[in-house]
Chain A
């Protein structure tokens, strides 16, 4: 509560300054435009109309700059052409659609645009037309501004915003890591394009921070296909780790639920047939001890988890390679070492305990195949034999009992006849 209140206080305090922030972000995202700047004041995009044109009066100027409290400078130029090509431009959003708290000029008390820097008629420098316009920004540095401006995404994208507020990145941010990514770090600002276009961009963005992991991923079977062939099926970072709800692999349920992530594609017949990969891999995993247990943990939903191997424990995580690649962790000569990750004392025979995602066949696993076949015959024969014997026995006992009963009835009738003589002949049985 107090946190929320504090945040609200801060938001309120910086609300007016947001305009400047957004503008700087335009610059951050767009980079320095090389557009010609003959008339900096009027350097606006063709489609800029109405209020946007007003904004671009200043923010269309390549030389419009702001300075942070720490002395760092930032360009406040906005490339309207780029904005028009972003998802928000064609949608008809104007500057104020996002920068809702800009309602006056100057936007903030701390802005110090001196009129006389340009306007000689007011007693200023007559050569000041090309002078850089500088404003004092109410932020310590660029990151503080970025974090503040990021809050404006929430007004439209509330759902995603709140989901992201629970993510591992948000936790890192709350934990004091100011570089932990917020919306605009991944999506950009004025240059936002639809997510995942092209798909490789996703991994590039994640890789800009997670460099080591990205390098490994790029050499994996998935990463290479994404980078080199623009493969539409291989997973990018977000396919496994989640998008806004990115949880972090040390989350207790991430491990177990990862099998459904892998299994989702690897049991998809249509997708796997393209690459000639068996879709049995998932089911055979679930049929074995490890998979059976992990699946149970997931279905229990109690958060119970164990150390039973999931897909990536054997196949590798970011370094997944084809099983016939000698560098693969599941290449026959590497298997023992892979098993030893968990089964420390596993000997050379141990990996044979795993059937390699194959259904047991007469050729490859004769003993196992024979056992399965034998019991499929043995159980019906034995239990069927038992039931046959039991059925006969029960029937015979029932029939004997009926016979005894019948004899008793006959006897009773006879005795009754003798006792009653012929007096009640008419009541005798037919």
Chain B
């Protein structure tokens, strides 16, 4: 390292045009390499969704263990909240009275509702954290993100069912039916948590909000409870229980048959990812060891082959 002598004047006439080359640090080759790595990473992610079961059949990963746990907590807390909430909403009916008495009285029912709400809020906050990680760290929108295609799918589905279209729409990882379900859940959860907390802490709430917020919250909470419960009973129950018994949220996996039928686009993308990775691995077999990523991929493809 050299130091400027004190007597030597510091140059002031440096021009970016002349002293920094326009393509300095920018190399097409390097960018290509990075893009390839990105595609390989994406392909590996997709390919990992297909696994070989012990009986040799292909299974497709739908939900991670954490996501399955989230759904289990949501399912349990939702049922408890709906029951303990709706019997308060319709407290004047005889069924409510019987249930409330069985559960130990109005105050006990409220305590159960509040404690369950805490669990519900925690699992919702965790989900928000996951979304933030997805958006901020991974810089992906997520496969639940609504697209214009979803609206088209919805209309095509109706048209097909009415006999006005010849084919069913082909769904990707999440169908428009599933996205609507998720949208309703997000909308309902946000609304229920906010209005619930306002009712739970009315004094604190009115230190920020006008007094009207309390009766408004009470109305919203009660109405949304009805809407959410009906939505689960109709939309969700039809699509995952009545139409076909879709257990993937509990088992985490789908069979190849189910996958082809319900998520053909994703199915084809997963297969394409495998093909892509195999091609890269083949190049690597031909002696091309120039990129470390290819080496990684080679090992992975070997592992998949071995498993299959």
Contact = CB atoms under 8 A, between A and B. Distances in A.
B235 A379 contact: no
Contacts of A429: none
A157 to B, nearest CB: 38
A352 interface: yes
Given A300-B97, A302-B101, A394-B243, A386 B231 contact: yes
A383 B227 contact: yes
B234 A386 contact: yes
Nearest to B159: A392
A345 interface: yes
A396 interface: yes
A371 B238 contact: no
A296 B100 contact: yes
Tell me whether chain B's interface is mostly helix, strand or loop, or mixed.
helix
Contacts of A346: 203, 206
Contact of A371 (B210, B216, B226, B230): B216
Contacts of B214: 353
B152 to A, nearest CB: 15
Contact of B223 (A355, A360, A379, A386): A379
Contact of A386 (B210, B213, B235): B235
B114 to A, nearest CB: 14
Interface string B82-120: 000000100110000100110001110000000000000
Interface string B232-253: 0011001000110000000000
Contacts, number: 116
A352 B203 contact: no
A347 B235 contact: no
Interface stretch (A63-71, A244-252, A287-295, A319-327): A287-295
Interface residues of A, number: 44
A299 interface: yes
Contact of A392 (B158, B218, B226): B158
B210 A352 contact: yes
Nearest to A396: B161
Tell me whether chain A's interface is mostly helix, strand or loop, or mixed.
helix
A386 B235 CA distance: 6
B212 interface: yes
B157 interface: yes
A397 B243 contact: yes
A358 to B, nearest CB: 11
Interface string B135-170: 000000000000000000000011011110000000
A162 interface: no
A375 interface: yes
A353 B91 contact: no
Contacts of A181: none
Given A353-B214, A382-B227, 12 more contacts: A300-B105, A349-B206, A350-B203, A350-B206, A350-B211, A353-B215, A365-B215, A371-B219, A372-B219, A375-B226, A383-B231, A389-B158
Interface of B: 88, 91-92, 97, 100-101, 105-107, 157-158, 160-163, 199, 202-203, 206-207, 209-216, 218-220, 223-224, 226-227, 230-231, 234-235, 238, 242-243
18 contacts: A288-B215, A289-B218, A296-B100, A300-B100, A345-B203, A349-B207, A349-B209, A353-B202, A353-B214, A368-B216, A368-B219, A371-B216, A372-B219, A375-B226, A379-B227, A386-B234, A393-B238, A396-B161
